[in-house]
Amino acid sequence: MLSKALAIGLPISVVSTVALYKVMTSRVFNREDRVYEPPLTSFLMCSLNEENFIKRALKSLEEQNVIAKYPDNFEFLLIDSNSEDQTVPIAEDYGWKVYQAPKGKLLARDLGMKTAKGEVVISVDCDTRYPPNWCNLVLRWFRQSNVVGVVTPRLVDPEESIIASYLSVWMSLADVGPLLAGGMRAPGQGMAIYKQAYFDVDGFDLSINQQNVHEMVREEEIRFAMKLRKLGKLPVDWFAPCFTSMRRLKFIGKDRAYEKWQKERLSGKRF
């Protein structure tokens, strides 16, 4: 009986996974989708020795369709924590304004929120790729009343592993669910909020140990999201996934850049 159930269930699971992946990615790669005029928007990226990953992220943001149509509505801020590699020169080559913050991602994000001129601030990561219609889909939510921000699911980058990318669909459902409703977590790789909302909820708790991964997840992704939902709606846009690196998986040693990042993270040398 078990073998028969597996024989039936496995193909169904594979088909449903691929189908769901196609639905989630059906719009985000469409450069020709309807482009909505955006509010004044600041991109906020935090960095620490990211020369091996940041170019892909910056290039993908540079290619956003809404930015191409409304370039004057955007500013680009990199909050660096005294990188010792080429992170800052690379960002400057792409036209990003660079500010320095003490080590600690929440300290960097806090400085970015205080520095940003945009009405809306979009948080993005150095190791994540953003399809060309991503920003446009995200910003359309701010045309609705009572929306204080929007969260986007994160999938494994299919350029690294298409199988892992398919499987990460289910991880994203658990990550920013539950049950496709108002969401649970707000990962920093892809979320946008009104700048004023950050200050209305008193921002992040900067007193936590920002080198402790578990404390960081609780504060940055869970507690902060809970506070925002007390102000208004924080929907999940399931049609706007971003694609993040597999470098956080400890058993992945794709190349020296991945191994170097993992060792530095485990030893407390980075966020």
Token pair, residue 39, equals: 């509010």
Counted domains in the chain: 1
- Specify if 220 maps to a domain: yes
Q: What would the mean pLDDT of 241-252 be, rounded to a whole number?
A: 75
| HEC string for 69-131 | HCHHHEEEEEEECCCCCCHHHHHHHCCCEEEECCCCHHHHHHHHHHHCCCCEEEEECCCEECC
- Whole-angstrom Cα distance, residue 245 to residue 147? 29
- Specify if 211 maps to a domain: yes
pLDDT at 167: 87
- Specify if 4 maps to a domain: no
- Specify if 195 maps to a domain: yes
- Whole-angstrom Cα distance, residue 245 to residue 253? 12
Residue 22 has pLDDT above 70, yes or no: yes
- The CATH number that applies at residue 33 is 3.90.550.10
Q: Could you list the residue range(s) of the whole structural domain that residue 133 is in?
A: 17-266
Q: Are 220 and 188 in contact (CB under 8 A)?
A: yes
Ramachandran category for residue 103: left, alpha or beta (phi over 0 → left; psi -120 to 50 → alpha):
beta
User: What is the CB neighbour count within 10 angstroms for residue 206?
Assistant: 13
pTM: 0.87
| Residue 107 burial class via C-beta count within 10 angstroms: exposed 0-12, middle 13-18, buried 19 and up | middle
Q: Could you tell me whether strands 120-124 and 41-47 are parallel, antiparallel, or unpaired per DSSP bridges?
A: parallel
- Specify if 3 maps to a domain: no
- Specify if 11 maps to a domain: no
Token pair, residue 70, equals: 């409304």
Tens digits of residue pLDDT in 153-185: 999 999 888 888 888 888 888 777 654 444 578
pLDDT at 89: 98
**Average predicted confidence (pLDDT) for the chain:** 87
Residue 106 has pLDDT above 90, yes or no: yes
